Amino acid sequence: MTAARRGGKRVGYIRVSTLDQKTDRQLDGIQLDKVFTDKASGRDTKRPELRAALDYLRDGDVLVVHSMDRLARSLPDLRKIVTELTGRGVVVEFAKEHLTFTGEDNAMATLLLNVMGAFAEFERTLLLERQREGIAIAKKKGVYKGRKPSLTPDRAQELRARVAAGETRAALAREFGISRETLYQYAFR
């Protein structure tokens, strides 16, 4: 366990992939000053609490993450985050792997970051492959219905009318609880 430098904070980052997954086991029993928690996929770094944590961290702080795959599922994203943080004087600590990165890391630390990060990326690829196989089998059996539509037909019609009336798309997306990409799919079909 790495202590924060004088005046620094120990900041935790927790991520689970779905809303019904529990965060309890991550960072349990680890003393932290502040914790940021995302319930989102790790496929990219566009996660609100990750962004907030990265903005919050300062020189002398320690970012504590349960494991590398909780921070990022892609090796380039993992390396970018760790390099960016250590470059700002933030120490990055992975509890499960017992690895700490300070920016003054040796060749072995760099190798471990790359190897362990590659395993996290490989695991995600296997998961997606199994998911595609399962969907293909379910489609053959006629039991796969696909994802439920984000909006009912009535809500979709209301959305299209309000876009046509000139309301801002960002405000509509927030109000309807959908992404702007989904808004465009409904509004311009």
CA distance 130 to 17: 17
* Strand stretches in 66-120, DSSP E: 91-94, 99-101
17 is catalytic: yes
Query: How many DSSP H helices and E strands does the chain contain?
Result: 7, 5
Give the dihedral of Cα atoms 143, 22, 152, 148; nearest 10 deg. Answer: -20
Catalytically annotated residue among 17, 41, 67, 150? 17
Query: Helix, strand or coil for residue 158?
Result: helix
Cα–Cα distances (Å) from 45 to 69, 71, 120, in that order, read: 12, 8, 15
**DSSP secondary-structure letter at 21?**
S
| CB contact set of 95 (below 8 Å; sequence gap of 6+) | 27, 30, 64, 65, 66, 67
Query: Helix, strand or coil for residue 102?
Result: coil
Query: Helix, strand or coil for residue 101?
Result: strand
Residues annotated catalytic, as ranges: 17
